[in-house]
Amino acid sequence: MFRALCGLTLAASVASAETHHFKPTVGHPTFAVRPPVLTVKPGDVLESESLWGEWYEKAGGQWPGEVGPIAIEGAEPGDTLVVEILKVRPNHDTAVSTQGGRFGALVPDGGTAMLNDMFPRGRYVWRIDRQRMTGTVDLPGSAMKSITVPLQPMLGRVAVAPEGDMSFDGLWPGRFGGNMDASDVREGTTVYLPVFHGGALFYFGDGHALMGDGEVCGSGLETSMDVAFRFGLLKKKTIAWPRFEDAEYLMVAGSARPLSDALRIAFVELIDWLAADYGFDKADVYQLVSQVAVIRVANMVDPLYTVVAKFPKRFLPPRVPASGAAGGSPGVRLGEIPWPEAERLLTPERVVVLPLGAGSKEHGPHLPLGNDLILAEY
> How far apart, in Å, do the first and last CA atoms of the chain sit?
8
Element (H, E) at 290: helix 282-292
How many other CB atoms are there within 10 angstroms of residue 172's CB atom?
21
Say if CB 74 and CB 200 are below 8 A apart: no
pLDDT higher than 70, residue 326: no
Closest Cα to residue 352, out of 363, 340, 344? Answer: 363
Q: Please report, for the chain, the start and end positions of each structural domain, with discontinuous segments joined by +.
A: 16-92+151-238, 323-359
Closest Cα to residue 305, out of 252, 262, 251? Answer: 262
What is the pLDDT, as a whole number, of residue 56?
A: 77
Say if CB 241 and CB 273 are below 8 A apart: no
Q: Which of the two residues, 240 and 115, has the higher pLDDT score? A: 240
pLDDT higher than 60, residue 305: yes
Q: What percent of the chain has pLDDT over 90?
A: 63
For every residue of 179-207, DSSP letters joined together read S---TTSSTT-EEEEE--STT--EEEEEE
Arithmetic mean of pLDDT, 115-143: 89
pLDDT tens for 153-179 read 999 999 999 999 999 999 999 999 999
What is the pLDDT, as a whole number, of residue 111?
A: 67
CA distance 138 to 241: 39
Cis amide prior to 258 (ω within 30 degrees): yes
| Residue 223 CB contacts under 8 Å (≥ 6 apart), including other chains | 52, 56, 90, 91, 92, 94, 95, 96, 128, 207, 208, 209
CA distance 76 to 234: 10
Closest Cα to residue 91, out of 213, 259, 223, 184? Answer: 223
Q: Which of the two residues, 356 and 152, has the higher pLDDT score? A: 152
What is the pLDDT, as a whole number, of residue 110?
A: 65
CA distance 55 to 315: 44
How many other CB atoms are there within 10 angstroms of residue 205's CB atom?
26
Say if CB 85 and CB 185 are below 8 A apart: yes
Q: Which of the two residues, 44 and 113, has the higher pLDDT score? A: 44
Cα torsion 36, 37, 41, 45: sign? negative
Closest Cα to residue 311, out of 248, 223, 374? Answer: 248
Under the banding of pLDDT at 50, 70 and 90, the label for residue 346 is: low
Phi, psi of 208, rounded to the nearest 5 degrees: -120, 125
Arithmetic mean of pLDDT, 284-305: 95
The helix/strand/coil state of 365 is: coil
pLDDT tens for 177-232 read 999 999 999 999 999 999 999 999 999 999 999 999 998 888 889 999 999 999 99
Whole-prediction pTM? 0.80
What is the pLDDT, as a whole number, of residue 106?
A: 73
For every residue of 204-229, DSSP letters joined together read EEEEES---TBTTTS--SB--EEEEE
Closest Cα to residue 224, out of 94, 347, 137? Answer: 94
Q: Which of the two residues, 263 and 357, has the higher pLDDT score? A: 263
pLDDT higher than 60, residue 330: no
Range name among 42-46, 67-71, 104-108, 240-244 with the lowest pLDDT average = 104-108
Tell me the CATH number for domain 16-92+151-238: 2.60.120.580
